Chains A and B, each alone.
Chain A
Amino acid sequence: MASPVEQFAIQNLTAPLFSIGGNHIAVTNSAVFMMAAVAVSSVLLVAGASRGAMIPGRFQAMSELFYEFIANMIRDNVGNAGKKFFPFIFTLFIFTLFGNLLGLLPYGFTFTSHIAVTFFMALVVFLAVTLIGIFKHGLHFFSLFFPHGAPLFTAPILIPIEIVSYLSRPISLSVRLFANMTVGHVLLKVLAGFVVALGIFGVVPLVVLVAITALEVLIALLQAYIFTILCCIYLNDALHLH
């Protein structure tokens, strides 16, 4: 039987197209699912956005649901200053969401189960947010590392703690998504192995498998939401400090 982690293997589907800095870039299974996420989400959303009817149909209602969901998230967590970042945060949510969901299809590949992808996204967000904060507040931005109103003598303890906590943000952000996706798919694979191994009694793990699949859909939605809302909260910290 295949190892439960074999599903995460990156496979080149074409010969290397070109190379960047000595690294050969080929179309991989991960790349195909990223393209699929872009294609599926774009088709759904463009179809939903193009009609612009006063009374929305199914696709339009779904598109507007996503739009209002992210717009409200930004309004509640960042405020008016966050409007400029709406397209980026919306794209981040849609890309993560469709990556998580398409990975649940049979024979699918979950690109969000790779630390390289999640960490790169988290790192870009982290660096962008830090630069926005420094650009907006100058040196005052570093007051983020010392909670307002804390006694001065606690500074030697608090400031290192705050710095470590700040620097660990991209790690916690990326590991949360990567670990949730990986563990979920490993669990599904292991349970599926039991279904085959137990023969007729495989019905029992099969029932569990169905339930866990439903749970994984929930986790796919939830982790996309958590990833996005944490980015909003980090952005809010940078824009408004504490």
Chain B
Amino acid sequence: MPQFDVSSFPSQIFWLVVCFAVLYAIMATLVLPRIGSTVEARERKIQSDLDAAQQANDAARATAAAQDKALAEARGRAEAHIRAASDAAAAETSAQMHAVGSRLAADITAAERRIGEQQTQAMAGLTGMAAEIASAVLGKLVGSADGAQIARAVDAAAKAGKR
């Protein structure tokens, strides 16, 4: 096999060393530093973009939280206003209701009293009238009547009628 021809070894090793050294020099100076800096720059760019995105996200979250808080506060204030207004309205309504109610009650009481008085008057007049009618009827029937007796009889009749 040509691989074991020792006479070719020095030449092969010589060219190996030369070519390897040239390739090493090219890689170490022209290739690897450039790729390295490109890769690093890309990683930095990606990292800074990610950081910026994170910051924007945080800011958006903070804004959203502030908005939620402001909204909740406004809602709380609005609810307090509504409650105060409705309380005031209810108080006024009940005061008016009370006033109207007591006036009506007074009117009702006065009217009842008047009705009672007129009823009593009417009843009193009725008794007198009944006595007159009775004496007139008796006068026509028997010619004379004892006024006091008739009044007693009418009273008794009125009492019995009421019962």
Mark A residues whose CB is within 8 Å of B.
Answer: 5-6, 8-10, 20-21, 23-26, 28, 30-31, 34-35, 37-38, 41-42, 45-46, 48-50, 52-54, 56, 60, 63-64, 67-68, 86-88, 90-91, 94-95, 111, 113-117, 120-121, 178, 182
Interface residues of B in 110-150 (CB under 8 A from A): none
B59 interface residue per 8 A CB criterion: no
Give CA–CA (A193, B22) in the complex, Å. Answer: 38
Given contacts A64-B39, A116-B3, are A20 and B19 in contact (CB under 8 A)?
Answer: no
Q: Which residues of A contact B37 (CB under 8 A)?
A: 52
User: What are 24 A-B pairs with beta-carbon distances under 8 A?
Assistant: A5-B2, A10-B11, A25-B10, A25-B15, A42-B30, A45-B26, A45-B27, A46-B31, A48-B31, A49-B30, A50-B30, A52-B34, A53-B38, A64-B35, A67-B39, A68-B39, A91-B20, A95-B19, A111-B12, A114-B2, A114-B3, A116-B3, A182-B1, A182-B3
User: In the complex, how many angstroms separate the beta carbon of A22 from the nearest chain B beta carbon?
Assistant: 9
Give CA–CA (A3, B4) in the complex, Å. Answer: 16
B24 touches A34 (CB 8 A): no
B12 touches A45 (CB 8 A): no
Which of B1, B8, B10, B23 has a CB less than 8 Å from the CB of A94?
A: B23
Give CA–CA (A191, B12) in the complex, Å. Answer: 28
Interface of B is mostly: helix
Given contacts A38-B22, A54-B41, A91-B23, are A114 and B28 in contact (CB under 8 A)?
Answer: no
Give CA–CA (A205, B42) in the complex, Å. Answer: 49
User: In the complex, how many angstroms separate the beta carbon of B36 from the nearest chain A beta carbon?
Assistant: 7
Q: Which residues of A contact B30 (CB under 8 A)?
A: 42, 46, 49-50
Give CA–CA (A38, B22) in the complex, Å. Answer: 8
Give CA–CA (A95, B32) in the complex, Å. Answer: 15
User: In the complex, how many angstroms separate the beta carbon of A94 from the nearest chain B beta carbon?
Assistant: 7
